Structure 1
Amino acid sequence: MNYITNYYYCHHIQSFVNQTWLGRYEVPVDDSTNMLIWSFIVSVFSLGGWVGAIHSGSLPVTYGRKKALLFNNIVALVAALLMVFSLMAKSFEMILLGRFLYGYNVGMGLSVHLMYLGESSPKKLRGFLTLTSSIFIGLGKVMGQIVGIKEVMGTDDMWPWLMALGGLPAIIQFVTLLFFPEAPRYLYIDKGDTEGSKKALQWLWQEDDLKMEMDDMEKERESMQGQKSKTVWDMLTSRCVRWQVLALVIPCACVQFCGINAIYFYAFDIFRESGVAEDNMHYLSIGIGATELISISLCSLLIDRAGRKMLMGYGYLLMGVIMSILVVMLSIKDLFSWFPYVNIALIFSVICVYGLGPSGVSMALPADLFLQAWRPSAYVISGSVNWLGLFLIGMFFPYIVDALGQFCFLVFVAYCMFSSAFMLCFIPETKGKCMVEIMEDFNKLNYKNRETDTEKADFVLETTF
């Protein structure tokens, strides 16, 4: 929610910075300094997300997935309190710290949440359940857009409370998570707690026949016997997971480069060209957020039927085609009065395809790619690339727009086409398969010119920090 509401409280924070500066130094802040402070407030969120992603590889391994999530919710509550009291304390530094902690909360929460779901869900529902992260991100965007309008909380008095709303989901998750068990696979494989794992599965699945799942976990645990420990660096250099890492980074972690942020950026200009009044812009943006939420929800129903490979591969392909058409339409927008309306339709189409494919699958696929002990390190890599990508887009996209105009979309078209070809041509389908079966499929790529099987591949299945 904090990520999307930047647009709504931008002028409130800049006004607050100016008033605070005037009270301290008895001179108004100059425009360049004000914009610099605002830039730090925006970008520090990505920096916090990166730090949180790095810690998502160590805390869940040491203390367990559940305790890491509980700690992470406390971080969000501290951030919310900083936002609420920043106006009273007349300190924009508290906003900076709060934004960093919010970023940390999201960076760690996304990774550990996906770990917990991937290690707790049956394989026939693994895609659907891991997709709930994307659904709630979409819901957070829509809720942020709704409460951020001036009729609700987008006012001079309410903006600190608007920024503190991220603490509400943290309270709900903290309370409810106390009643949930630890992730069954973590208990069985990492801790060797067979009975605790079985009880957790019975509580989560509400089933007594757990033989297939227990056998699957036993195969993973047996494959770990006698293997030396690996670090994150070893993961990056190990041949036995080379293609999994490529699949993790190129179509999933680099999803920031598919152009969705450019679409949101350009949407308001296209709305203005179509004659939409400035006061009504917020309502159209709510429509964009609702479109993304609905399409992600549809993806959750399709992912375990259509498969990850098809949804993501063809999703990127369609996004590339639609954005190519959008570049052409933006170049000739003045030929006919109805062309801006076509551009609005193209924007909604890109967002719909993004939600149906790349947005959802980029969350679900990483949970399928790695065996138990590789997973925390995988999420460190995925989170780091994702958050650094978001930071780079935020820093350099305005300059790209100034230099290329509507042709900036061609950069994202190239990425979409490359990711589509990579996904469709190289990455095996993972739906309905257990972790060992998926690793065997990837072994055919990792050891393409060798006769090998899962046991011969030097799998190192235990991560230490």
Structure 2
Amino acid sequence: MNKILSWSITAALAGFLFGFDTVVISGADKELQALWNSSNAFHGSVVMAMALWGTVVGAIFGSLPTNKLGRKKTLVWIGVFYFVSALGSALVNDPYTFAFFRFLGGLGVGASTIAAPAYVSEIAPAKDRGRLVALYQFNIVLGILVAFLSNYLLSSIASNAWRWMIGVEAIPAFIYTILAFTIPKSPRWLLSQNRIEEAKEIFQEVNPNGNINDFVIETNDAKTRESIFLRKYRLPLILAFLIAFFNQFSGINAFLYYAPRIFEEAGLGERTALLSSIGIGATNLIFTIIGVTMIDKFGRKTLMYIGSIGYIISLGMVAVAFFLNWGGMAVPGFLFLFIASHAIGQGAVIWVFISEIFPNKLRASGQAFGSSVHWILAAIIPSLVPVLITNVGAGTVFAFFAFMMVLQLLFVIVLMPETKGVELETLAKKLLNKI
């Protein structure tokens, strides 16, 4: 188990860079807009959102290297992309080159949402799979917290603070890339490549209590080229789409990208807004740890119930606070509850759930589909936030997100299956031909 934990943590460190890369731009938001005198539309859709569009491309096409090169090699290349992106973004002098390097980092983020959860789910025993795959989400929120803290500490630099904020990511990116060379190949990926003896050897090492017979039966299936869009895979496809769809229609990425701006909209000063962002990161981390410890005990569905109800209450109260012009810490307080609800629900569950519901031979493709839905929406929604807050008001925006979470609760009640403690091969058979 010590080996599995070590390898899982190493692969999950891709999530740390994901979280750091996604949020670090929030500290440079206003400085970059002033530096390049950008309109709200250009700043939101190009400067701020280009990394997210890179993430969309990485998510759509990330299954190709994940399947062809393998999970391990893909994780190594992800580290390289993060490193180049961080250095390049910090050294440029115009918004277009900046957007290009941010796009490269986005490719790494998108591919990591496929390769890292797939890798960990394929080496983890069924009884521990939830918390081990959820280490990826834990690292995401740890990266978010470190990015908020880093932004706050570096914001006092007299000039070019944004270069330091963004460039410092090169350090953990370099360390992660080196560590990624030390993990073994995924046994289930080896099986899909018909490297059966090598796959058996690693499978018995990482999962000595697993069902080797079910594992080997997949050999013949692995030779068959199929698509996740076949009718028999309709249920896992719908499940992946809906959990990713509702994840982004909670408003989570829009909030993380513009946390300081939203806090300032609520009446906090600039430095207080940055400091409140650190509190958001800490809350996210604490409740993610709670979610990770609960996911294999109480199950994925229970956490989604808790998160959905918390979403509805917190987002509804944020909307009311903006409509009624409540001052002080009202908006930050409700947003802390929002982050806690996300961390214990969608945050802990999404990457675990998507990595579980597709057969071994289609896991990377299914992960790519769910990640693509997630990241297309994650690119569109934050791009619209500056314009929407200006034109329709923050209260209306948060009221819409609250309504979407009512729909998510209905999805959990009606359609979402429980996947805890079930072997991947058994789970794939249960979800086959269900719709």
TM-score range, shorter chain: 0.7 to 0.9
Partner Cα separation in structure 2 for residue 317 and residue 392 of structure 1:
25
Which stretch shifts more, 299-308 or 411-420?
411-420
Alpha-carbon distance, 1:103 to partner: 0.5
The answer for unaligned runs of 5 or more in structure 2 is 1-19
Aligned residue number for residue 10 of structure 2? none
Aligned residue number for residue 4 of structure 1? 23
Partner Cα separation in structure 1 for residue 40 and residue 167 of structure 2:
22
Aligned residue number for residue 196 of structure 1? 198
Which stretch shifts more, 291-300 or 164-173?
164-173
Matched to 1:68, the amino acid is T
Q: What are the superposed Cα offsets for residues 81-133 of structure 1, whole Å, 9 maximum, x if unpaired?
A: 323432xxx45443222101011111111211111111111111111111122
Aligned residue number for residue 230 of structure 1? 226
Q: Using a 3 Å threshold, how does the CA distance of structure 1 residues 33 and 423 change in structure 2: closer, same or farther?
A: closer
Alpha-carbon distance, 1:142 to partner: 1.0
TM-align CA RMSD: 2.7
- Please state if 1:293 is matched with 2:282: no
Find the residue that maps to 2:232 and give its secondary structure: helix
- The answer to whether the Cα contact below 8 Å between 1:124 and 1:432 also exists between their aligned partners in 2 is yes
Aligned residue number for residue 12 of structure 2? none
- Please state if 1:69 is matched with 2:70: no
Matched to 2:28, the amino acid is Y
Aligned residue number for residue 116 of structure 2? 113
The answer for unaligned runs of 5 or more in structure 1 is 18-30, 447-465
Which of 116, 125, 130 pairs up with 2:128?
Answer: 125
Matched to 1:54, the amino acid is I
Aligned residue number for residue 8 of structure 2? none
Aligned residue number for residue 164 of structure 1? 167
Which stretch shifts more, 263-272 or 142-151?
263-272
- Please state if 1:182 is matched with 2:185: yes
Matched to 1:3, the amino acid is T
- Please state if 1:345 is matched with 2:364: no
Aligned residue number for residue 378 of structure 1? 366
- Please state if 1:303 is matched with 2:295: yes
Say how many residue pairs are matched: 415
Q: Using a 3 Å threshold, how does the CA distance of structure 1 residues 179 and 269 change in structure 2: closer, same or farther?
A: closer
Alpha-carbon distance, 1:72 to partner: 2.0
Which of 371, 380, 387 pairs up with 1:392?
Answer: 380
Partner Cα separation in structure 2 for residue 298 and residue 351 of structure 1:
13
- Please state if 1:50 is matched with 2:56: yes
Aligned residue number for residue 251 of structure 1? 243
Alpha-carbon distance, 1:272 to partner: 5.6
Alpha-carbon distance, 1:365 to partner: 0.4
- The answer to whether the Cα contact below 8 Å between 1:309 and 1:428 also exists between their aligned partners in 2 is yes
Alpha-carbon distance, 1:169 to partner: 2.7
TM-score (norm 1): 0.81
- Please state if 1:59 is matched with 2:65: yes
Matched to 1:304, the amino acid is D
Q: What are the superposed Cα offsets for residues 108-162 of structure 1, whole Å, 9 maximum, x if unpaired?
A: 1121111111111111111111112211111111111111125567552453232
Q: Using a 3 Å threshold, how does the CA distance of structure 1 residues 175 and 323 change in structure 2: closer, same or farther?
A: same
Aligned residue number for residue 366 of structure 1? 354
Say which one has the larger Rg. Answer: 1
- Please state if 1:40 is matched with 2:46: yes
Matched to 2:22, the amino acid is Y
Partner Cα separation in structure 2 for residue 138 and residue 377 of structure 1:
25
The percentage of aligned residue pairs carrying the same residue is: 24
Q: Using a 3 Å threshold, how does the CA distance of structure 1 residues 34 and 156 change in structure 2: closer, same or farther?
A: farther
Partner Cα separation in structure 1 for residue 423 and residue 158 of structure 2:
51
Partner Cα separation in structure 2 for residue 180 and residue 46 of structure 1:
28
Q: Using a 3 Å threshold, how does the CA distance of structure 1 residues 211 and 130 change in structure 2: closer, same or farther?
A: closer
TM-score (norm 2): 0.86
Partner Cα separation in structure 1 for residue 298 and residue 163 of structure 2:
43
